[in-house]
Structure 1
Amino acid sequence: MTISGTTAAEIAGSVRDQVSSGELAPRAVLPPVRTLAAELGVNRNTVALAYRRLVEAGVAETRGRGGTVIAAVPQLAREGVGAGGASTDLASGNPDPELLPDILAVVRRGRYRRPLYGVPAVDPGLAEWASADFAEDIEQPFRTLVAHGAVDATERLLNAHLARGDLVAIEDPCFLASIGTLRLNGYRSVPVRVDGAGMRPDALRAALEDGARAVVCTPRAHNPTGASLTEERAADLRAILAGHPQVLVIEDDHFSAVSARPYHRITPPTTARWALVRSLSKFLGPDLRLALLAADPETTARLEARLSAGTTWVSHLLQHISRELLLDPAVHELHERARETYTHRSGLLVGQLHAQGIEVPHRPDGLNVWVELDVDGRSVADALGQRGWAVRPGHVFVPDGSAHRGAVRVTTSTITEPQAEAFAAELTSVVADLRAAGA
């Protein structure tokens, strides 16, 4: 490589030109700061600033003693990865299709009129429903918007207030898409440990003291652990956040309509920038790609600039379908059945695990059960796969990908009683074999 320039801007531009032309490939190591400064006859601080600008732009990344390297497209784990062949799928994280309403049945229901450019970005009927729903839980002034799913909403919220390199406090373990969102947008994550009552206050306090500028929290049915905030824990987190009013607080209440736990708010009145996001994917269908969000007026205004009717609004047809489903009494009954069914099915597995001597310390809510083990989770997942059971190893849900987790996530949304009994026995056998082998 031949890097040129005498200013930080020129040096960074030279590197970017070579990346664009393909002369510098992903993972190529840039010269040490001292070496390049000597070659170019400039101060070391000039090269250091150029490298910092490359990192901030997402062109390069620092690897400590490994130096500064050209960034590659991150290889991210994703949700929805399930079993292949004849394996029993307890890995996908998906809802039970039988507990989702028939979307096509409502397409022609109601008064859908084909909109053109310039109409309001949010369907008035859906906005009215959402505002009433959010008003039950939010006492602060807010406005509502519609985004292309919870991941899109979270990404837009972070991008509206943060810059590349900013620290974001996220749960540990955490939702796969949150890890991907932070990495793809150049944010740094600060892991906040989670127990059966949700985010741990001491861990959140430490993350904020480390300089986190945003917090992303799942108030109930946490994926992957199934934990939900208790009223006491939410109060503790609110008290901590009250001392950091400048921090953006995002609550991802993805399981709202079918959760077996009440919503407890962590956003204190002193927080200036906040949002409560409620995806419709888990109870109306993932393919709707739609989430409702309530946020403070300034945040809403920033999001509206990119979700306006003239550019990237969410399809009014999808909004129409969602509104009709949310207003349908039959769908409400389906949600009640889904809530009871998911609770029953996760309980089946927890009960069978307890019978085998494997403890799950809290009763999970949602689609998954998190099983902590004293052996390597990857080895457990591999061994179970060979026996015809697909689960996800715990390490993929950890913000720090190098960290080890002796855990597996088991999706229970469609599990039957015979499957729960057979799986618990197989898991017990696998763990015993790995213990004997010293794994």
Structure 2
Amino acid sequence: MTLDIGGRSASEIADSLRALIERGDLSPGELLPPVRSLAEELGVNRNTVVAAYRQLTQAGIIVTRGRSGTRVADLSPVAQEGFAAGSVLRDVGTGNPDPDRIPDLTGVLTGMAGRPVLYGEPVIDPGLERWATEWMRAGLPRENEMRLTITSGAADAVERLLAQALTRDDAVALEDPCFLTSIHTVRIGGYRPVPVPVDDEGMTVAGLEAALAQGVRAVVHTPRAQNPTGASLSEHRARELRAVLRDHPFVLVVEDDHFSLLSRRPFHSLITPDQRRWALVRSVSKFLGPDMCLAVTASDPETAERLAMRLTPGTTWVSHLLQRLTLALVTDAATMAAIERAGAHYAARNAAFVGMLADHGMPAAAGDGLNLWIELPVPARGVCEQLMRRGWLARPGDEFALGVQDASHRLRLTVHDLDAHDAARLASDVAASVRAAGGRLAEPEVA
């Protein structure tokens, strides 16, 4: 199709392209003419077309992909965490914590309100700040000066951290496979995701090196219970990755330790005294419930100041009622004991289900976190279709993939809230679905 692109100035060319996109003459993902050929066709200087493309890139209308060319931005929605709306199937792909494992709030609500908070007062509750300082400091280098910021959850923190450091089309290193919210945040922000493969020990060294060579300006990673794989950084891998980052002190390193108090694994950070721009984010949503929209961010002073500036135009602070409720819960011995039991519960249920799969000839490993990442001998989409016929709704691995190929042969399952009978039925149905999709299973080990 010949495109009717016109204009002599950068603004005119940009307006012409925008009109084609708005009319649907150019579709999401469609390739635009190379700069040189469009400049020759319009009889303008090459820099004029470069400027037009830059205007549209900054507006998020088109994206540049280097040698892959410039394309119309694809704003199709990213899959989201949570229950699938309107489904009659048993949903085992939610990624949700067990509601029965979320502490009861009623016992502390009446005594935590206190006096009203007015404009101009400190944005962090003093009691929460004292507790959070000790919580966040553990595992970070003592040499690093640290400031705290409270945001409305981890996703809010990561979005604002990237926004204060990046501009559209800047490159961001993301784990691959990746947490769905991170994919969504980077896409909506207009940044360019650079996938870094993840194995059982976290981000790979070669993958991070390759991402840094492509000029990423930020690295977002999960030190424990990576979603969807359940991987956690080993001490050895963390040391190797810190050595790689040592030559890139001004790259923003964002650590999303979302599972924190529930984790069964030690915390190993990538942040060193040499890292000039860094942030550690810990949300309370996994252990106090998704409706407790609060996260604590520890960061270097400059990043903290920039993050505070990003909060100013909107919600200047997170509700002090919510902050006091959080403090009351995390300083309550019974609540902390319940959180510890919840962490043990998730680990035990996941391990038990992995054993059930092994009984059906499907070897798997239980990482840390709320989910299981199951390897399949056939594409997961076909297995999911077969599971639907058996009454289950699961998530195929390619929903979490940026570039990794084996994700299409992975299944992410959330099974910790199934009782023993339903867990056994699901394990049997997964095996049957694999066979129905054309896969062959190993012979179960005989005790």
| TM, length-normalised to structure 2 | 0.89
1:356 aligns with 2:360: yes
Q: 1:77-113: per-residue Cα shift (whole Å, max 9, x none)?
A: 1000348555322110000001112235433223522
Query: Hey, what's the Cα distance between the residues in 1 that align with 2:78 and 2:137?
Result: 36
Query: Hey, what's the Cα distance between the residues in 2 that align with 1:25 and 1:115?
Result: 53
Q: 1:197 pairs with 182, 195, 201, which one?
A: 201
3-state SS, counterpart of residue 328 of structure 2:
helix
Aligned pairs, how many? 434
Question: Residue 307 of structure 1 contacts residue 314 of structure 1 at CA under 8 Å; is this kept in 2?
Answer: no
Query: Hey, what's the Cα distance between the residues in 2 that align with 1:49 and 1:357?
Result: 58
Question: Residue 92 of structure 2 contacts residue 413 of structure 2 at CA under 8 Å; is this kept in 1?
Answer: yes
Q: How does 1:208-287 map to 2 (within 5 A)?
A: 208-287=212-291
Question: Residue 37 of structure 1 contacts residue 44 of structure 1 at CA under 8 Å; is this kept in 2?
Answer: yes
1:120 and 1:350, CA in 2 relative to 1: closer, same or farther beyond 3 A? same
Question: Runs of 5+ in structure 2 lacking a partner?
Answer: 441-447
1:35 and 1:239, CA in 2 relative to 1: closer, same or farther beyond 3 A? closer
Question: Residue 83 of structure 1 contacts residue 91 of structure 1 at CA under 8 Å; is this kept in 2?
Answer: no
Q: How does 1:19-418 map to 2 (within 5 A)?
A: 23=23, 27=27, 32=33, 33=35, 36-37=38-39, 40-62=42-64, 68=70, 70-71=72-73, 73-82=75-84, 86-138=88-140, 139=142, 140-308=144-312, 311-360=315-364, 362-400=365-403, 405-418=408-421
Cα offset, 1:392, TM superposition: 0.5
1:426 aligns with 2:429: yes
1:295 and 1:430, CA in 2 relative to 1: closer, same or farther beyond 3 A? same
Corresponding residue for residue 443 of structure 2: none
Q: 1:129-177: per-residue Cα shift (whole Å, max 9, x none)?
A: 1101112222211001111111111111111111211111111111000
C-alpha RMSD of the superposition: 2.6
Cα offset, 1:283, TM superposition: 0.5
Query: Hey, what's the Cα distance between the residues in 1 that align with 2:397 and 2:204?
Result: 19
Query: Hey, what's the Cα distance between the residues in 1 that align with 2:286 and 2:183?
Result: 19
3-state SS, counterpart of residue 311 of structure 2:
coil
Query: Hey, what's the Cα distance between the residues in 1 that align with 2:314 and 2:186?
Result: 28
3-state SS, counterpart of residue 137 of structure 1:
coil
Percent pairwise identity: 48
Q: 1:384-411: per-residue Cα shift (whole Å, max 9, x none)?
A: 1111112100000012499862110001
1:23 and 1:353, CA in 2 relative to 1: closer, same or farther beyond 3 A? closer
Query: Hey, what's the Cα distance between the residues in 2 that align with 1:117 and 1:166?
Result: 35
Query: Hey, what's the Cα distance between the residues in 2 that align with 1:31 and 1:236?
Result: 41
Question: Residue 386 of structure 2 contacts residue 437 of structure 2 at CA under 8 Å; is this kept in 1?
Answer: no
1:302 and 1:26, CA in 2 relative to 1: closer, same or farther beyond 3 A? farther
Cα offset, 1:63, TM superposition: 7.5
Cα offset, 1:256, TM superposition: 0.4
Cα offset, 1:66, TM superposition: 9.4
Query: Hey, what's the Cα distance between the residues in 2 that align with 1:248 and 1:66?
Result: 26
1:329 and 1:279, CA in 2 relative to 1: closer, same or farther beyond 3 A? same
Q: 1:351-397: per-residue Cα shift (whole Å, max 9, x none)?
A: 1112222122x431111000011211111111111111121000000
Query: Hey, what's the Cα distance between the residues in 1 that align with 2:114 and 2:400?
Result: 41
Counterpart residue type for residue 290 of structure 1: L
3-state SS, counterpart of residue 438 of structure 2:
helix
Question: Residue 219 of structure 2 contacts residue 253 of structure 2 at CA under 8 Å; is this kept in 1?
Answer: yes
